[in-house]
Each structure stands twice: as structure tokens, then as C-alpha cells.
Structure 1
């Protein structure tokens, strides 16, 4: 990428309108629905010129491959402004998001935030690596008025917390431009699986994978989809068990679940607090590291460890026996092994055999989270919801608007935990966390590995419950097997990710490993786009 590419982008204000059509998507007749609240975009001053077509074409071409440091470089030398970048994304969202449904709400102050970033830059100041960079937030992350925090649920359509969540406060302090709130699986996946496993809400409809008629994953589907379709630079999602990893892998972007409590979960609508964790979603490991550095609670320079040599001499344990047993994974394991060898890593077999038995109570634990944490939160906003059965009844009363994709998952989980006393639920957390931790520590010790390797979110329940970090990096596309094949659909061409599992608290090292793998493989897929 040379500095000449954006040389002509010098307008202080600009707009764009661009049409994006994926090669194949779930169409309206597959069940798409009207939004409960249409997206509203901030108004521009009358007479503001539109961004010229050649600038739009340039941004369309280069933005999907630029990193945040490169964007900052263009803004530093005057070839780009935050205002131009923000307007580009807002109008791109306006043109495209009725198809993709990656957003629930737009920040009415986005242009003001961009203008403030440009003013700081003009005065020779700056607030850090995200200053002026557009970011979206999963809509279970609390934002004060005028934006809402709905978790995608009709019952929270008008809910506004009194204050931003701490991680949002950190983003604002770092100068990030909040584009808006991202769609998700409603209540982080507690209501329905949607049309194809993930990404459906009563408020915004069914999220669409920009790579084709594939699952979006859940629950951070809109965050991953917006990054993948170039509707934001980066996004903050959240994880309970695969909620960051699956949608990122299946939409060919980078997603990271950090170590427990590395990012504050305060102000995030809970599903299962033992497991819940916000985390970054980005197109590159570089951008994920920079976003993590702004929203975390530690003083760590994650960028310092991003080296192509980060895996040289490092022992990496591939969970090969478990992964090879699944159809379609053989060629993926070959890709992984070839790339790891190229990086200079020492590749050894590793195993988490027996994890399903050790975590057999997880499904009941999740049901308890819905009963004692998620529903309890709803009751603080809507006092009439005095228990999970009341929430089930609420959905059943007007299913056409409250549960357009069904609510059987919620009803089943509420019933499952009906005989689970809260004390027993609370005791399950430490027990399952200890079991998951023991599994991981045994795998690290037996293999001598510094990182374990999985595919997609296959072992998410283990590392999420233990609170260990994991990151997924694009691994190209499947030729066979995987989720879509299991659902009886075509799986060829569906994005897939390699997932690296790190040791507790060693997030910086894990990012370094992921960066080395990413640079050696270059497997990220950019969705095919037509105007």
C-alpha cells in the first residue's frame, strides 16, 4: 500500500452512496422481516457535497485491506480525515444494511465525534491509535442515551442505561467514533437459533453472511458481519461460549476472546457471567490488538509482540485426533500444519479428550444463567418480568413481533433449569471452571505446548468456561464438511478459521502467535462485491 493511493482524498466533508450485493445471501423470501425501529442516520448540513465517485471507488478498493495504523498514517499526512471515513461508512451502511442486517441502531453523534477527532489532529493532538477510527458495538453493550441497548429484544426496545459501559467510556476516551450498535443473536443466543444458527433478533431481523448462504454464527454475528462486509473498521462483540469465535471464523475475520476479566463486563447485559467476556473483532490481528489495548484493564503493549517470528521455536499443540475425526477437516489440518511449519513453530499433537464428559453440566449451567442472570436483568428494566416463566409468557403473547424467529430455545432452557436452585447454579460455576482449567493445563503439560490449535469454535466451551484466551484467524474456505454439511446444505466455500488457545493471562503472547500465523498464511477472504 503506497501513500499515493489516497493522495486525492483531501475534502473536509464528503459523502458516498454505494451498493453492495453479495454473490449469494439468504433472501427476503427466506424469512427476512421489517425492523422494529428503522435505522436513522445523522443529518448533514444542507448543501454538503457528496464524495466523488473516484474517491468512493478508491475507498471501496483499499479499505478492506488497510490496517488501523495505515489509516492513521493517511490521516496524519492529510490524505484522509475521520469525517470522510465516518461518512463513507454511514452511507455504506444506509445503502447496504437492509440486506445484511448487521446494525440495530446508528449513533446520531457519529459525525460530531469524527469532527472532534479531526479538530484534535489539526491542533497537533491525538488520543491514541483509535482516535477517529469508526467502531461498532454489539447491542448488549450498554450505551447511554440517545442510543439504546436492546440485546435485540423487543422488550428492551426503548431501554437506555444511565451510563456507558466502562469499555465504551474507554473507547470514547481513546477518541474512537462509535458508528452504532451491532445486531446479534437475541439476548446473546438465548431466544432462538434463527434461520441458520445465529444472528437473528426481533429488533433488526436475520443477519446475513456476506460470503454466501452460510450461517453467521452467534452471538456476535452483526459485529463480525459488519467488519467482514466493510461496514466498520472494527467492532466489539462478546463471548459466552463461541460467541466471538464462531461468527468471526464463519465470516472470515479475526475474533478474540480474552482472558477472564481482562476487559470489564460491567454494563454488558449478562447471559452467564462466569463465561461472559467482551472482545475485539477486526479484519487483522494488528487491529484486534490495538482495539484490545484500548478496552482492556491492563497496561500492556500488545503491538510490541506482533512479529512474524513470534512462533519461531514455539511448541504448538494441534488437537488433531479430535479434529481429524470430523468430516472435511483433513485438508484444513494440512493447511494449519504447513503454515505452522513455515513460521518455524514446533508442531506436536495435543488432546482435550473427555472434555464433553467433564463439562456435561454446562448445558444446565447455561440454562441457570438464563434463569438467574439474564432474566433477572430484564426484571430490573421491566418489573413485570418477575421470573423466567413471565419472560416466556411475554414472548408467547405477541410472537409476530416479539419472537418472529420463534422462542422455543428460551422456553426449553427455562424449563430445563426450573428445578435448579440458585445456590446449586452458583456452585456450578467454580466446579465447571475448575474442570475446564484442569483439562487445558493437562493438555499444555502433556504436549509441552505454549498454545493449542483448534478449528472454528470446536473447543469453545472449554476455554470460555476456564476463562483462557482464544483467537480465531481466517483459514480460507471449506471444501466440504463443517456446520452447513451437518445441516444438509452446501458447505463448499464457507469461511473457516484456525483457533489458537493460549494460557491464562498470556493474551499478548497469543496475539503474537496469531499474527505470525496470519502473516504466513494470508487466508482471509474478502466478500465479492458488486455495485
Structure 2
């Protein structure tokens, strides 16, 4: 059979090809494995392959051939981030050598859902170590276990993070879609910097059970894909309640049965879109791309409300830092204490000790200042923590997104997703400082990043943001924008960018 072009073939079309015998799940997995073998020595996106993937694909083919009822991702190869538990032979390490050899006792809640949907879990992707919680000087996409992941649009540029490998793997055509996790920016940043669609759901729509945590206040998992349709389809498989994650108690009531039902090419017509322009944080080329995006949504019939006021990153981040560092110690200790007894690292203090004992390999490039800061926090009853969390919600919800949406009767807010990918600099860490992801991250509200253009050949995205459970609206708007612009181009694996 003819080889399928994963860069131009969506998951829905792959399902049609599978159903009509034009390809098989095993052939799709073999093709993905061949692509990884051919190109991942340059990008270093995949940290571990699933040795059972071909066998699982064969089972999918047998089920399809036998007329069994199949799920929405049946036979589709998916990669997942290496902070998501799988009860198979693969490790779950958050990229840390401290957890090397750790095999989960049970699947994460979203892995159970992916398997139920028929997905073939192809392997796990590299990430910024501890999902970015090790050091303020960390380099996105670097982990002591996985090394440095590289951007396929320019191999000397950052893939962004912390879902670095997931973003690069989808952009490079190593899988049909991938799963990332986000506490603040870790889906939206890699989506923007790898010319992808990334959906960061409402906190509580998607289970976090079995995911190495940062913060119960802000953590979520979400989809990274080449199109809005694919990202929406994967979200359909992920969303829903999980008894192991109390935050998802309302998810079955709030979730849509099928998020692809909201794909509407005319979805921008009459929509009221607020414009948020962050000041002085981004490369000038990002501003040009953003202005073009505004014109595109206006041309498709959206009502544009300019200069919507929202709190700045400088106002929010000091309070967010208190919340994340406090949550991290509590939540990580709970996760580590539940691992198999063969895992000797049982607490954040153990992780810090391990890193010090192995500093030549683990801390060759940057320290563990954020781990140390987190270990020094005083728990969830600390008045400083409680005040910080209250301030975070007031700034981003009450006085932020909620107020802007109500004041201007908005359907959504649009803003640049991220700065242009910075140069990889292991000595000094990431240099890009611009961010708008804190708005949806700290509030716990949904956002979707969509490819919007290129600056010197490097991808730039725009994000649609709205209130809790507004995924259907955001998918409708993002799809209409994507179809109106059709910006995305596959990567060229260039050695460097043109500026």
C-alpha cells in the first residue's frame, strides 16, 4: 500500500483510510517509527519508544477486520509526554535521572481514556526536566535523561516547553498527534513555536491522575496536533471525569460528546473578539503577525474590540510563583510516595539530594534553585500561600478575563501565544521573556493556540482565550481562523533561522 503523508493527512481521513483498507494501523506505526529513525537524531524529541506498539497496532487491525466497534482514535499512533504514567514497560521520569527505571503501577487517567479510544501509544516524548520546575535558568526541552530537544524549523532554536518533545514530534511527522501537559505555557508555547494547534483545557475537564504534578491549582493535560480538527478529536478522547482526580468531578457534565461538532468555517462571523496586546515583551515581527491575524478575523466577519485591559505578567507572576512552588512540594511528595517500592526517590527532598549526589551529570548546565525554593515552602495552610492563590484568581478571573468578557460582551480574547523561538543556550538558559499564557493558566480557563505566521522562518501562533468550559466556542473560532488563513507549513529541519 502507498505510504500515507502524515503532514497532510488528518486523523479523520486516517480513520477513513483504515476503515476502507487503504492502510493499516501496523503500517501507520511502522511509518512513524521509520520517520523517527530517519529524523529524530536531529530533533531528539522521543525519549522512549513503546516496544509493544506494533503488537497493539496489529490488535487494532484484527479488531477492525472482525467488525468490532472502534473508538475515535482506533489505530492512530499517539505520543505522550514523559510525565504521564503508563502501566507497561515504559518508564515515567519527567526527564529526571532521579526517576530512571520507574515503572508506573497503573495507567494515568488520560492513558486509560486514550486506550479506550483505540489509540496506539507509540512512546514517550522528552520534556524540560520536571516540566520546567527545576531552575529559572533551565533550557526548554533539556532533561538529564533525554538531553536537548531541538526545533525542526531551525535546529539551533528552542522547541519551547515544557511539552517540548510532544510539540516537535507532531511538527516533524513522528505521530498523528501528541499529548502535552500545562501548568503555565507548556502546551501553548510548544504549539506556537512548532507551528501547531495546542488546546489547553479548562482545569477540571481532563484528568491529572497519574501525571507527575506541579500544581493541583493549574495542572491540566491537552492535545497538540497539526490542525484544529485533530486537536479537537483528541480532546474528545481525553475529556471526562475520573474518580482518581476530584477536580474532574464535573467533567462528564461539562464535556461535549464530540468537540469536532463545533468545527465551523463561518465561526468568526458576528463573533465579538477582544484584542489583548502585551507591551514591550515580544520581537517586533510577532506584532506584525498579530496585526495580520486581527485583520484576518475582521475580514471573516468578527467584531473586533481593541485594547482590552488585562493584568500584566509582572502583576501576576510573583503570586503565581508562590502558588506553584507550594503546590509542587505537596503534590510531588504525594506522587512519589505512591510509586513502586523499588523507586528510592520518595520525596522532593530525595530528588534534591539525588541531584546533588549526581551533580556532574544532572546539574552540568544549570542548578536546582526552583526545587530548593519549593522545598522551603510551608504547605497549603500557609497564610502567604492562601493569600497568593486568592490574589491570582482575583487578578486573572474577577478583575481579568471575567471582567473583560462581561464588560465588552466578548466571545473570546485573542493575544500572541509566544515570542519567536529563542536560540538554545545551555549555559544561560532561555532568553525569550514574553508571555500571555499566565492569563488562562492561572485562571484555569481554556485557551487554543493556532499557527499565525512566521518570523524569519520561525513559527508564531495566536491564542484564543475565554471563560471556563468554553472549549466549544474556542474550537469554533480557532477553526474558522485556521481555515481562513491556512498558514501552517511543515518544517524544513534547517540548521538555523534567517535572522
Matched, 1:521 2:485: yes
Give the match for residue 402 of structure 2.
441
Alignment of 1:58-137 (within 5 A): 58-59=3-4, 62-137=5-80
Give the match for residue 47 of structure 1.
none
1:450 to 411, 415, 424: 411
Give the match for residue 261 of structure 2.
304
1:288-341: CA deviation from partner (whole Å, max 9, x where unpaired): 000000110034221111011111100001113647986333312221112102
1:260 to 203, 207, 214: 203
Matched, 1:170 2:170: no
1:392 to 339, 352, 360: 352
Query: Residues 143 and 194 (structure 1 numbering): CA distance in 2 closer, same or farther, change over 3 Å?
Result: farther
Give the match for residue 285 of structure 2.
328
Distance 2:51 2:407 in 1: 53
Matched, 1:506 2:464: no
Question: SS of the counterpart of 2:166?
Answer: helix
Distance 1:145 1:430 in 2: 40
Query: Residues 420 and 315 (structure 1 numbering): CA distance in 2 closer, same or farther, change over 3 Å?
Result: same
Larger radius of gyration between Structure 1 and Structure 2: 1
Give the match for residue 229 of structure 1.
172
Distance 1:125 1:412 in 2: 49
1:21-58: CA deviation from partner (whole Å, max 9, x where unpaired): xxxxxxxxxxxxxxxxxxxxxxxxxxxxxxxxxx4xx5
> TM-score of the superposition, structure 1-length normalised?
0.81
Distance 2:121 2:278 in 1: 43
Query: Residues 191 and 354 (structure 1 numbering): CA distance in 2 closer, same or farther, change over 3 Å?
Result: closer
How far the C-alpha of 1:75 sits from its partner, in A, is 1.6
1:204 to 146, 151, 154: 146
Please say if residues 324 and 333 of structure 1, whose CA atoms lie closer than 8 Å, have aligned partners that are also in contact: no
Give the match for residue 351 of structure 1.
309
> TM-score of the superposition, structure 2-length normalised?
0.86
Query: Residues 386 and 177 (structure 1 numbering): CA distance in 2 closer, same or farther, change over 3 Å?
Result: closer
Please say if residues 355 and 436 of structure 1, whose CA atoms lie closer than 8 Å, have aligned partners that are also in contact: no
Give the gaps of 5 or more residues in structure 2.
241-254, 419-434, 495-499
Alignment of 1:145-294 (within 5 A): 145-192=88-135, 197-212=139-154, 213-294=156-237
How far the C-alpha of 1:193 sits from its partner, in A, is 6.5
Distance 1:280 1:507 in 2: 12
Give the gaps of 5 or more residues in structure 1.
1-8, 10-54, 479-491
Distance 2:416 2:465 in 1: 10
Give the match for residue 411 of structure 1.
369
Give the match for residue 142 of structure 1.
85
Measured on the aligned residues, the alpha-carbon RMSD in Å equals 2.2
Distance 2:465 2:293 in 1: 14
Give the match for residue 39 of structure 1.
none
Please say if residues 192 and 461 of structure 2, whose CA atoms lie closer than 8 Å, have aligned partners that are also in contact: yes
Q: Decide which moves more: 327-336 or 341-350.
A: 327-336
Distance 2:64 2:205 in 1: 30
Distance 1:189 1:371 in 2: 14
Query: Residues 413 and 148 (structure 1 numbering): CA distance in 2 closer, same or farther, change over 3 Å?
Result: closer
Distance 1:237 1:284 in 2: 15
Give the match for residue 461 of structure 1.
438
Distance 1:404 1:519 in 2: 45
Give the match for residue 23 of structure 1.
none
